[in-house]
Amino acid sequence: MARRALVTGITGQDGAYLSQFLLEKGYEVHGVIRRSSHRGVEDHRLRWLGVADRVQLHDADLADVSSLLRTVNDVQPDEIYNLAAQSFVASSWRQPILTANVTAVGVTNVLEAMRIGAPGARFYQASSSEMYGLIQESMQSEKTPFYPRSPYAVAKLYGHWITVNYRESFGLHASSGILFNHESPLRGVEFVTRKVTRTVAAIKLGQASELRLGNIDAKRDWGHARDYVRAMWLMLQQDKPDDYVVATGVTTTVRDMCKIAFAHAGLEMDRHLIIDPAFFRPAEVDVLLGDSTKARAALGWTPEIDLETMIKEMVDADLERLRRDPLS
Protein backbone atom coordinates (compact mmCIF):
# COMPACT_ATOMS: atom_id res chain seq x y z
CA MET A 1 0.00 0.00 0.00
CA ALA A 2 1.07 3.56 -0.67
CA ARG A 3 2.36 5.51 2.29
CA ARG A 4 -0.03 8.19 3.53
CA ALA A 5 1.01 11.74 4.31
CA LEU A 6 -1.10 14.34 6.10
CA VAL A 7 -0.06 17.93 5.41
CA THR A 8 -1.31 20.96 7.32
CA GLY A 9 -0.85 24.17 5.38
CA ILE A 10 -1.22 22.18 2.16
CA THR A 11 -2.52 25.18 0.23
CA GLY A 12 0.57 27.28 0.99
CA GLN A 13 3.80 27.46 -0.98
CA ASP A 14 5.57 24.64 0.87
CA GLY A 15 2.44 22.52 1.15
CA ALA A 16 1.89 22.63 -2.60
CA TYR A 17 5.47 21.75 -3.51
CA LEU A 18 5.60 19.06 -0.83
CA SER A 19 2.38 17.54 -2.17
CA GLN A 20 3.82 17.42 -5.68
CA PHE A 21 7.04 15.88 -4.36
CA LEU A 22 5.23 13.21 -2.31
CA LEU A 23 2.86 12.32 -5.15
CA GLU A 24 5.86 11.78 -7.42
CA LYS A 25 7.14 9.33 -4.82
CA GLY A 26 3.88 7.38 -4.85
CA TYR A 27 2.34 8.72 -1.62
CA GLU A 28 -1.33 9.10 -0.92
CA VAL A 29 -1.52 12.77 0.07
CA HIS A 30 -4.11 14.27 2.42
CA GLY A 31 -4.31 17.91 3.40
CA VAL A 32 -5.89 19.98 6.16
CA ILE A 33 -7.73 23.13 5.13
CA ARG A 34 -9.60 25.52 7.38
CA ARG A 35 -13.02 26.95 6.65
CA SER A 36 -12.77 29.96 4.34
CA SER A 37 -15.27 32.34 2.79
CA HIS A 38 -13.16 32.09 -0.36
CA ARG A 39 -13.73 28.37 -0.91
CA GLY A 40 -12.75 27.49 -4.45
CA VAL A 41 -9.66 29.71 -4.67
CA GLU A 42 -7.59 28.43 -1.74
CA ASP A 43 -6.16 25.56 -3.79
CA HIS A 44 -4.74 27.81 -6.52
CA ARG A 45 -1.15 26.79 -5.75
CA LEU A 46 -2.05 23.11 -6.04
CA ARG A 47 -3.77 23.89 -9.33
CA TRP A 48 -0.72 25.85 -10.55
CA LEU A 49 1.34 22.68 -10.05
CA GLY A 50 -1.35 20.48 -11.59
CA VAL A 51 -1.91 18.31 -8.50
CA ALA A 52 -5.15 19.69 -7.03
CA ASP A 53 -7.21 16.70 -8.17
CA ARG A 54 -4.71 14.23 -6.76
CA VAL A 55 -4.83 15.27 -3.09
CA GLN A 56 -7.63 14.66 -0.60
CA LEU A 57 -8.61 17.68 1.49
CA HIS A 58 -10.10 17.57 4.99
CA ASP A 59 -11.78 20.40 6.92
CA ALA A 60 -9.90 21.03 10.16
CA ASP A 61 -8.23 23.87 12.02
CA LEU A 62 -5.03 24.07 14.08
CA ALA A 63 -6.99 25.88 16.78
CA ASP A 64 -9.50 23.00 17.06
CA VAL A 65 -7.85 19.85 18.39
CA SER A 66 -11.03 17.80 18.01
CA SER A 67 -11.08 18.40 14.24
CA LEU A 68 -7.40 17.46 14.03
CA LEU A 69 -7.94 14.27 16.01
CA ARG A 70 -10.88 13.33 13.79
CA THR A 71 -8.77 13.90 10.68
CA VAL A 72 -5.83 11.89 12.02
CA ASN A 73 -8.16 9.03 12.96
CA ASP A 74 -9.73 9.08 9.50
CA VAL A 75 -6.47 9.26 7.53
CA GLN A 76 -4.18 7.17 9.76
CA PRO A 77 -1.10 8.82 8.23
CA ASP A 78 2.41 7.41 8.15
CA GLU A 79 3.85 10.92 8.07
CA ILE A 80 2.49 14.26 9.29
CA TYR A 81 3.96 17.54 8.03
CA ASN A 82 2.90 20.57 10.07
CA LEU A 83 3.39 23.52 7.73
CA ALA A 84 0.35 25.59 8.72
CA ALA A 85 0.90 28.88 10.54
CA GLN A 86 0.17 32.56 10.58
CA SER A 87 3.42 32.95 8.71
CA PHE A 88 3.74 36.63 7.77
CA VAL A 89 6.12 38.34 10.19
CA ALA A 90 4.69 41.85 9.72
CA SER A 91 1.16 40.68 10.54
CA SER A 92 2.32 39.10 13.79
CA TRP A 93 2.68 42.53 15.43
CA ARG A 94 -0.88 43.40 14.41
CA GLN A 95 -2.28 39.96 15.30
CA PRO A 96 -0.06 38.63 18.10
CA ILE A 97 -2.76 36.57 19.82
CA LEU A 98 -3.89 34.90 16.60
CA THR A 99 -0.24 34.19 15.80
CA ALA A 100 0.27 32.61 19.23
CA ASN A 101 -2.87 30.50 19.00
CA VAL A 102 -2.09 29.13 15.54
CA THR A 103 1.68 29.23 15.11
CA ALA A 104 2.51 28.20 18.69
CA VAL A 105 -0.36 26.36 20.41
CA GLY A 106 -1.50 24.89 17.09
CA VAL A 107 1.65 22.77 17.04
CA THR A 108 0.71 21.24 20.37
CA ASN A 109 -2.75 20.49 19.01
CA VAL A 110 -1.33 18.62 16.02
CA LEU A 111 1.11 16.71 18.24
CA GLU A 112 -1.71 15.76 20.63
CA ALA A 113 -3.85 14.52 17.76
CA MET A 114 -0.91 12.44 16.55
CA ARG A 115 -0.02 11.14 20.03
CA ILE A 116 -3.59 9.96 20.58
CA GLY A 117 -4.61 8.94 17.06
CA ALA A 118 -1.43 7.88 15.25
CA PRO A 119 1.49 7.59 17.68
CA GLY A 120 3.51 5.51 15.22
CA ALA A 121 3.49 8.23 12.58
CA ARG A 122 6.48 10.45 11.87
CA PHE A 123 6.10 14.19 12.45
CA TYR A 124 7.75 17.20 10.81
CA GLN A 125 7.53 20.68 12.35
CA ALA A 126 8.27 23.73 10.21
CA SER A 127 10.56 25.78 12.43
CA SER A 128 12.02 29.05 11.18
CA SER A 129 15.31 30.93 10.96
CA GLU A 130 13.39 33.93 12.37
CA MET A 131 13.86 32.24 15.77
CA TYR A 132 17.51 33.37 15.68
CA GLY A 133 16.44 37.02 15.40
CA LEU A 134 19.15 39.14 17.01
CA ILE A 135 21.84 36.73 15.90
CA GLN A 136 24.30 35.41 18.48
CA GLU A 137 26.68 33.88 15.90
CA SER A 138 27.67 34.97 12.39
CA MET A 139 26.38 31.67 10.98
CA GLN A 140 23.43 30.01 12.65
CA SER A 141 23.45 26.26 13.30
CA GLU A 142 21.36 23.90 15.42
CA LYS A 143 23.48 24.92 18.44
CA THR A 144 23.16 28.70 18.01
CA PRO A 145 21.12 30.37 20.81
CA PHE A 146 17.75 31.79 19.77
CA TYR A 147 16.74 35.45 20.21
CA PRO A 148 13.35 35.97 18.51
CA ARG A 149 12.49 39.51 17.42
CA SER A 150 8.80 39.29 16.47
CA PRO A 151 5.62 37.68 17.82
CA TYR A 152 5.88 35.29 14.86
CA ALA A 153 9.39 34.23 15.83
CA VAL A 154 8.40 33.80 19.49
CA ALA A 155 5.48 31.59 18.43
CA LYS A 156 7.72 29.54 16.13
CA LEU A 157 10.16 29.04 19.01
CA TYR A 158 7.37 27.60 21.15
CA GLY A 159 6.41 25.25 18.31
CA HIS A 160 10.02 24.18 17.95
CA TRP A 161 10.55 23.39 21.62
CA ILE A 162 7.18 21.67 22.12
CA THR A 163 8.18 19.35 19.27
CA VAL A 164 11.42 18.54 21.06
CA ASN A 165 9.47 18.06 24.30
CA TYR A 166 6.97 15.62 22.77
CA ARG A 167 9.85 13.71 21.19
CA GLU A 168 11.59 13.37 24.53
CA SER A 169 8.45 12.92 26.68
CA PHE A 170 6.48 10.47 24.56
CA GLY A 171 9.07 8.91 22.27
CA LEU A 172 7.46 10.31 19.12
CA HIS A 173 9.38 10.40 15.86
CA ALA A 174 9.18 14.21 15.73
CA SER A 175 11.71 16.34 13.85
CA SER A 176 12.03 20.07 13.24
CA GLY A 177 13.46 21.74 10.17
CA ILE A 178 14.89 25.17 10.97
CA LEU A 179 14.34 26.48 7.47
CA PHE A 180 15.91 29.69 6.29
CA ASN A 181 14.07 31.88 3.78
CA HIS A 182 12.85 29.92 0.80
CA GLU A 183 10.89 31.33 -2.09
CA SER A 184 9.28 30.39 -5.42
CA PRO A 185 6.66 31.58 -7.91
CA LEU A 186 4.11 30.30 -5.37
CA ARG A 187 5.25 32.65 -2.60
CA GLY A 188 2.53 34.94 -1.23
CA VAL A 189 2.55 38.48 -2.63
CA GLU A 190 2.99 39.91 0.89
CA PHE A 191 6.51 38.47 1.16
CA VAL A 192 9.35 40.67 -0.01
CA THR A 193 10.73 38.46 -2.79
CA ARG A 194 7.33 37.99 -4.42
CA LYS A 195 6.42 41.63 -3.83
CA VAL A 196 9.58 42.53 -5.75
CA THR A 197 9.11 40.11 -8.64
CA ARG A 198 5.41 40.85 -9.06
CA THR A 199 5.96 44.62 -9.00
CA VAL A 200 8.90 44.38 -11.40
CA ALA A 201 6.68 42.39 -13.77
CA ALA A 202 3.90 44.99 -13.42
CA ILE A 203 6.33 47.82 -14.17
CA LYS A 204 7.61 45.96 -17.23
CA LEU A 205 4.03 45.60 -18.50
CA GLY A 206 3.16 49.24 -17.78
CA GLN A 207 0.79 48.31 -14.97
CA ALA A 208 2.85 50.00 -12.22
CA SER A 209 5.60 52.60 -11.96
CA GLU A 210 7.27 52.14 -8.58
CA LEU A 211 8.34 49.58 -6.01
CA ARG A 212 8.18 50.65 -2.35
CA LEU A 213 10.29 48.76 0.19
CA GLY A 214 11.66 49.25 3.70
CA ASN A 215 15.10 48.09 4.80
CA ILE A 216 16.77 46.93 1.59
CA ASP A 217 20.09 46.38 3.36
CA ALA A 218 18.70 43.46 5.39
CA LYS A 219 20.51 40.24 4.47
CA ARG A 220 18.86 36.87 4.01
CA ASP A 221 19.88 33.32 3.14
CA TRP A 222 17.45 32.57 0.30
CA GLY A 223 16.76 29.16 -1.21
CA HIS A 224 14.07 27.59 -3.38
CA ALA A 225 11.03 25.89 -1.83
CA ARG A 226 11.46 22.87 -4.13
CA ASP A 227 14.83 22.16 -2.53
CA TYR A 228 13.55 22.71 0.99
CA VAL A 229 10.55 20.37 0.84
CA ARG A 230 12.96 17.63 -0.22
CA ALA A 231 14.84 18.24 3.04
CA MET A 232 11.59 17.90 5.01
CA TRP A 233 10.96 14.49 3.52
CA LEU A 234 14.54 13.34 4.11
CA MET A 235 14.21 14.14 7.82
CA LEU A 236 11.31 11.72 8.18
CA GLN A 237 13.21 8.94 6.43
CA GLN A 238 15.85 8.82 9.19
CA ASP A 239 15.81 6.11 11.86
CA LYS A 240 16.01 8.70 14.64
CA PRO A 241 14.23 12.06 14.80
CA ASP A 242 16.33 15.21 15.11
CA ASP A 243 16.46 18.91 14.28
CA TYR A 244 18.20 20.32 11.21
CA VAL A 245 19.08 23.71 9.80
CA VAL A 246 18.20 23.93 6.10
CA ALA A 247 19.96 26.78 4.31
CA THR A 248 22.15 27.63 1.33
CA GLY A 249 24.97 29.19 3.35
CA VAL A 250 24.92 32.27 1.07
CA THR A 251 23.57 35.63 2.24
CA THR A 252 22.27 38.36 -0.06
CA THR A 253 20.85 41.83 0.62
CA VAL A 254 17.33 42.73 -0.39
CA ARG A 255 18.97 45.39 -2.57
CA ASP A 256 20.98 42.83 -4.55
CA MET A 257 17.96 40.56 -4.88
CA CYS A 258 16.07 43.51 -6.38
CA LYS A 259 18.91 44.15 -8.83
CA ILE A 260 18.57 40.60 -10.19
CA ALA A 261 14.82 41.05 -10.71
CA PHE A 262 15.04 44.46 -12.39
CA ALA A 263 17.95 43.41 -14.59
CA HIS A 264 16.12 40.28 -15.75
CA ALA A 265 13.18 42.47 -16.81
CA GLY A 266 15.48 44.93 -18.58
CA LEU A 267 14.64 47.77 -16.20
CA GLU A 268 16.74 50.33 -14.29
CA MET A 269 16.18 49.76 -10.58
CA ASP A 270 17.05 53.31 -9.49
CA ARG A 271 14.22 54.73 -11.61
CA HIS A 272 11.54 52.72 -9.82
CA LEU A 273 12.68 51.74 -6.30
CA ILE A 274 11.52 53.95 -3.41
CA ILE A 275 12.49 53.48 0.24
CA ASP A 276 9.37 53.91 2.36
CA PRO A 277 9.73 54.09 6.19
CA ALA A 278 6.21 52.62 6.50
CA PHE A 279 7.70 49.23 5.60
CA PHE A 280 10.37 49.15 8.34
CA ARG A 281 9.72 46.57 11.08
CA PRO A 282 9.39 47.57 14.76
CA ALA A 283 12.34 45.24 15.51
CA GLU A 284 14.48 44.30 12.53
CA VAL A 285 16.38 41.09 11.88
CA ASP A 286 19.39 42.42 10.00
CA VAL A 287 21.26 39.27 8.95
CA LEU A 288 20.40 35.58 8.65
CA LEU A 289 22.95 33.06 7.37
CA GLY A 290 22.47 29.34 7.90
CA ASP A 291 24.99 26.59 8.55
CA SER A 292 23.42 23.43 7.10
CA THR A 293 26.48 21.22 7.63
CA LYS A 294 24.48 18.72 9.69
CA ALA A 295 21.70 18.36 7.09
CA ARG A 296 24.22 17.94 4.29
CA ALA A 297 26.13 15.25 6.18
CA ALA A 298 23.28 13.34 7.83
CA LEU A 299 20.57 13.68 5.17
CA GLY A 300 22.70 13.94 2.06
CA TRP A 301 20.84 17.15 1.22
CA THR A 302 22.23 19.98 -0.90
CA PRO A 303 20.39 22.90 -2.54
CA GLU A 304 20.21 22.68 -6.32
CA ILE A 305 18.63 26.02 -7.36
CA ASP A 306 20.58 29.27 -6.85
CA LEU A 307 19.11 32.67 -6.04
CA GLU A 308 19.53 34.19 -9.49
CA THR A 309 17.79 31.26 -11.19
CA MET A 310 14.97 31.42 -8.65
CA ILE A 311 14.36 35.18 -8.96
CA LYS A 312 14.34 34.96 -12.76
CA GLU A 313 11.82 32.10 -12.54
CA MET A 314 9.64 34.21 -10.25
CA VAL A 315 9.75 37.27 -12.53
CA ASP A 316 8.85 35.14 -15.55
CA ALA A 317 5.94 33.53 -13.68
CA ASP A 318 4.61 36.93 -12.61
CA LEU A 319 4.90 38.26 -16.16
CA GLU A 320 2.84 35.28 -17.32
CA ARG A 321 0.22 35.84 -14.60
CA LEU A 322 -0.13 39.57 -15.21
CA ARG A 323 -0.34 39.24 -18.97
CA ARG A 324 -3.22 36.81 -18.43
CA ASP A 325 -4.90 38.76 -15.65
CA PRO A 326 -3.62 42.17 -14.42
CA LEU A 327 -5.39 41.58 -11.09
CA SER A 328 -3.77 38.19 -10.40
DSSP string, 188-255: -TTSHHHHHHHHHHHHHTTS---EEES-TT-EE--EEHHHHHHHHHHHTTSSS--EEEE--S--EEHH
- H/E stretch holding 168: helix 151-170
Q: What is the mean pLDDT of residues 233-261?
A: 97
pLDDT digit string, tens, across residues 179-198: 999 999 999 998 999 999 99
Distance, in Å, from the CA atom of 38 to the CA atom of 86, rounded to the nearest integer, reads 17
Q: Residue 62 carries which side chain, given as an amino acid letter?
A: L
Q: Which fold has domain 188-220+251-288+305-324?
A: UDP-galactose 4-epimerase; domain 1 (3.90.25)
pLDDT at position 96 over 70: yes
Domain coordinates of the chain in residue numbers? 4-182+223-246, 188-220+251-288+305-324
Please tell me the class of the 4-182+223-246 domain.
alpha beta
Q: According to the model, what pLDDT value does residue 37 have?
A: 44
pTM, entire model: 0.93
pLDDT digits (tens, 9 = 90+) for 273-319: 999 888 776 766 678 899 999 999 999 999 999 999 999 999 999 99
How far apart CA 239 and CA 226 sit, in angstroms, is 24
